[in-house]
C-alpha cells in the first residue's frame, strides 16, 4: 500500500501545483491581451492538418484534424508580419478576406486571432478549479494510504 499511497500523493500534488500555476498564467495572458489593439489582417490561406497523438502504455495512437489559418498584417511603418493559428470549425474564413486580429502595441509582431470569450474563460476557470479539487482529493487519499 505504500507505493500506491505515494503514487496518489505525488499525482495529487502535481495537480495541486499545476492547476493554480496554469490559472495564474492564463489570467495574466488574458489581461495582457485585453490591452492589445484591434487591427485588420488578410487571410492568406486555410488548410487542414492531421495530427497524431500517442497515448497509453500499449503505444496506441489516435489522430484528429485541425484547421489552420495563415494571416498577414502590417504595422504603422509598413513592416509585414504573418502568423499561423488554429481556428475553430465554425470560423468562416477564406483566403483574401479581411479578419480582425489583436496586435500587441509593445511588439507589433505579436498578434492573436480573436479574444477569449467570457464563456471560454469561465469554463477554463471551472476546469482548473476541478483539477485543483481532484488533486487535493488524490493527495488526501495518498496521505491516508500512507497512514501518516
How much is the pTM?
0.59
Residue 10, number of CB atoms within 10 A of its CB:
13
Give me the DSSP letters along the chain. Answer: -HHHHHHHHHHHHHHHHHHHHHHHHHHHHHHHHTTSEEEEEEEEEEEEEEEEEE-STT--EEEEEEEEEEEEEE-TT--EEEEEEEE-TT----TT-EEEEEE-TT-TT-EEES---HHHHHHHHHHHHHHHHHHHHHHHHHHHHHT-
pLDDT at 117: 59
Q: What are phi and psi of 7, to 5 degrees?
A: -60, -45
Q: Determine the pLDDT at residue 87.
A: 85
pLDDT at 58: 65
In the prediction, which pLDDT does 80 show? 95
Q: Domain coordinates of the chain in residue numbers?
A: 1-33+121-146, 38-113
Residue 128 grid coordinates = 482548473
Spatial CA neighbour of 93 closest among 39, 44, 36, 37: 44
Q: What is the pLDDT along the chain (148 residues), one digit of tens a residue?
A: 688 888 888 888 888 888 777 777 777 777 777 788 889 999 999 998 888 776 656 666 778 888 899 999 998 899 999 999 888 877 788 899 999 998 988 888 988 887 655 666 677 778 788 888 888 888 888 888 888 6
The predicted pLDDT at position 18 comes to 81
Of the candidates 121, 115, 117, 88, the one whose C-alpha atom is nearest the C-alpha of residue 102 is 115
Please answer whether residues 127 and 119 qualify as being in contact, where contact means their C-beta atoms are separated by less than 8 angstroms: no
CB 114 within 8 A of CB 23: no
The answer to whether the beta carbons of residues 9 and 143 sit under 8 Å apart is yes
Amino acid at each position: 500500500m505504500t507505493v500506491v499511497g505515494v503514487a496518489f500523493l505525488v499525482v495529487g500534488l502535481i495537480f495541486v501545483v499545476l492547476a493554480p500555476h496554469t490559472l495564474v498564467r492564463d489570467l495574466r495572458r488574458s489581461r495582457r491581451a485585453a490591452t492589445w489593439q484591434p487591427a485588420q489582417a488578410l487571410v492568406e490561406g486555410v488548410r487542414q492538418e492531421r495530427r497524431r497523438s500517442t497515448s497509453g502504455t500499449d503505444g496506441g495512437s489516435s489522430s484528429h484534424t485541425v484547421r489552420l489559418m495563415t494571416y498577414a498584417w502590417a504595422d504603422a511603418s509598413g513592416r509585414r508580419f504573418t502568423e499561423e493559428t488554429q481556428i475553430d470549425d465554425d470560423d468562416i474564413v477564406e483566403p483574401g478576406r479581411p479578419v480582425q486580429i489583436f496586435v500587441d502595441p509593445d511588439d507589433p509582431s505579436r498578434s492573436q486571432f480573436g479574444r477569449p470569450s467570457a464563456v471560454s474563460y469561465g469554463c477554463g476557470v471551472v476546469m482548473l478549479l476541478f483539477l485543483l479539487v481532484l488533486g487535493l482529493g488524490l493527495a488526501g487519499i495518498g496521505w491516508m494510504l500512507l497512514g501518516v
